[in-house]
Chain A
């Protein structure tokens, strides 16, 4: 069954503003991942946060994980037009095995110039 669910489904902000996307999942996991997909393209891995981590940074990206609430958030600071894309959270199917990821439906982010 589907693990990750992103919120909001769509988000439109002005360039330079911060964008926050949320993800909720259902069962215990040992890591949660965020991916970006530009229209009609493959997915690009952004960041992986392990269950024993609460926050992780990568450039303008900040990811938090709250295992007690089974939720995660992705913050993109100082957004740019090139950040326009769909963003997905993904969690391992069986909690941590090599048997694939389950993805949410994604948040479609539009950065207005």
Chain B
């Protein structure tokens, strides 16, 4: 069966520090991968998606970047965090245009 992992689960970082969040998927090949952010009490905002290794598309301009170094690995990064980067970050995968499966999320607090 397929599983998706995210780490860390929680993170507290000072403004201006770098960020690296990792997401890995097991049990499937060539998945579509997604990063979403959820502000408190809000819906999800799509940040990045990837349909293959090295292929990254961004939905909104921001302080973040994403990379896909391996088929089932998706990384979200920032060189310098802003206060507004705080939120709940969710990674998801799908096959084709079907339903998406979400990881447990990373709660990021920028202080």
Binding site for B on A (CB under 8 A): 2, 4, 30-31, 33, 35, 40-45, 48, 88, 90, 92-93, 96-106
Known contacts being A42-B104, A43-B90, A99-B57, is A48 close to B43, with CB within 8 Å? Answer: no
Using Cβ atoms and an 8 Å threshold, which residues of chain B touch A42?
90, 102-105
Binding site for A on B (CB under 8 A): 32, 34, 36, 41-46, 49, 51, 57, 59, 88, 90, 92, 94, 96-105, 107
Determine whether the beta carbon of A106 is less than 8 Å from that of B43.
yes
Complex: A43 Cα to B99 Cα, angstroms:
11
Determine whether the beta carbon of A101 is less than 8 Å from that of B100.
yes
Known contacts being A42-B102, A42-B104, A45-B101, is A98 close to B96, with CB within 8 Å? Answer: yes
| Chain B residue at smallest Cβ distance from A34 | B99
Complex: A93 Cα to B51 Cα, angstroms:
15
Using Cβ atoms and an 8 Å threshold, which residues of chain B touch A106?
42-43
Using Cβ atoms and an 8 Å threshold, which residues of chain A touch B96?
98
Determine whether the beta carbon of B99 is less than 8 Å from that of A45.
yes
Determine whether the beta carbon of B43 is less than 8 Å from that of A105.
yes
| Chain B residue at smallest Cβ distance from A45 | B99
Complex: A105 Cα to B42 Cα, angstroms:
5
Complex: A42 Cα to B42 Cα, angstroms:
13
Complex: A88 Cα to B38 Cα, angstroms:
12
Known contacts being A42-B103, A99-B57, A106-B43, is A92 close to B49, with CB within 8 Å? Answer: no
Known contacts being A41-B105, A42-B104, is A48 close to B46, with CB within 8 Å? Answer: no
Q: 10 tightest CB-CB pairs across the interface, nearest first? A: A103-B43, A42-B102, A100-B46, A103-B44, A43-B102, A45-B99, A105-B43, A98-B32, A100-B49, A42-B104
Contact of A88 among B34, B43, B88, B98 (CB under 8 A): B43
Using Cβ atoms and an 8 Å threshold, which residues of chain A touch B107?
40
Determine whether the beta carbon of B97 is less than 8 Å from that of A96.
yes
Using Cβ atoms and an 8 Å threshold, which residues of chain A touch B42?
105-106
